[in-house]
Amino acid sequence: MILKEALTNGINSLKSANIQAPVIEAGVILCHTLGCSRAYLYSHDDYELMIGEVEAYARMIDERVKGRPLQYITGSQEFMSLDFIVTPDVLIPRQDTEVLVEEVIHHVSSSRKDNPVILDIGTGSGSIAISLAHYINNCRVFAMDISKDALGVARINAQRCGVSERVVFITGNILKCPDSLESCLMPGNSGRSKDGPSFDVIVSNPPYIPTADIAGLELQVRDFEPHLALDGGIDGLEFYRSIVKAALDYVKPEGLIAFEVGVGQADDVAGLLEKGFQNIRIVKDLSGIDRVVTAVRIHF
């Protein structure tokens, strides 16, 4: 089978499955199969695929038809112009989350903080923590997650992006220890110094889907992405409450807390920050949806 025919077959299969961008996705899968660039597909459309390549391509197209996300098929996703490995152990990084990262970068830059210390709660693939370490000079980032498998993926990503020396990975559950975050942190890496809180920023894109709503999510999210990274409790706000409670003790005066939020949650999350924080802001994503909530810790 020649390349052009394989590509056409893939496009038609994805179209029949109502995949939204069949031409793009069939091309991405074929490039991944052949280890080639997009340009190669059009400059070598008469290339004769080997039997193993035909079989591998057909298998991956079939996985996509069944709903497996493209990023889990190719094993990668771009985020903040960096290339991240993704597996079913982690949530797929999304463009909306770049707004959250950009807000933190802007805050650190405008506040002119030297050697800022940042805590990322629920790091998953490490996309937020690693991007911050990459774009903020001399920062140190603590990346926390309940899933050891997710942290394994994040460690690989930190090495690939060249920031492993400035990111510390921590296994911990913020729901179980908001009153004593030290018990979630590795010895010697406490968020509190002898002089008080030592985090300049706490950032999080926590699970925020109400439990009852998970069954109604689109198939590729509901059946393939980790529910641990989706389920935000009865009202979707469980993690926000715990993180805000911890942040009262662990964010420096004038330090930042920054959240990604689900659709319709921005006002509720902003309300949680009214005690102990000021300059509460709601920031829209590129689609005009309230996506990020930030606030600054009041002096105490």
Closest CA to 268 of 246, 244, 247, 299: 244
The CATH number of domain 3-66, selected from 2.160.20, 1.10.10, 1.10.8, 2.60.120: 1.10.8
The SS3 call for residue 299 is: coil
The CA distance from 44 to 117, in Å, is: 50
> What pLDDT score was predicted for residue 114?
83
Instruction: Give the three-class secondary structure for 216.
Output: helix
Domains 3-66 and 79-297 share a fold: no
- pLDDT for res 193: 46
Q: Are 255 and 199 in contact (CB under 8 A)?
A: yes
For residue 174, the one-letter residue type is I
Residues contacting residue 55 through CB under 8 Å, at least 6 positions apart: none
Q: What per-residue confidence (pLDDT) applies to 111?
A: 86
pLDDT of residue 161: 96
CATH number for the domain formed by residue range(s) 79-297: 3.40.50.150
Q: What is the mean pLDDT of each run of 10 residues along the chain (300 residues)?
A: 95 95 96 95 93 96 96 97 97 96 95 89 97 94 94 97 94 67 51 60 95 90 89 93 90 94 96 95 96 90
**Residues sharing a CB contact under 8 Å with residue 28, sequence separation 6 or more, in sequence order:** 70, 74
Question: pTM of this prediction?
Answer: 0.90
Q: What is the dihedral of CA 286, 163, 182, 261, to 10 degrees?
A: 10
Domain boundaries along the sequence of the chain: 3-66, 79-297
Q: What is the pLDDT of residue 201?
A: 96
Here the tokens at position 262 are 């689900």
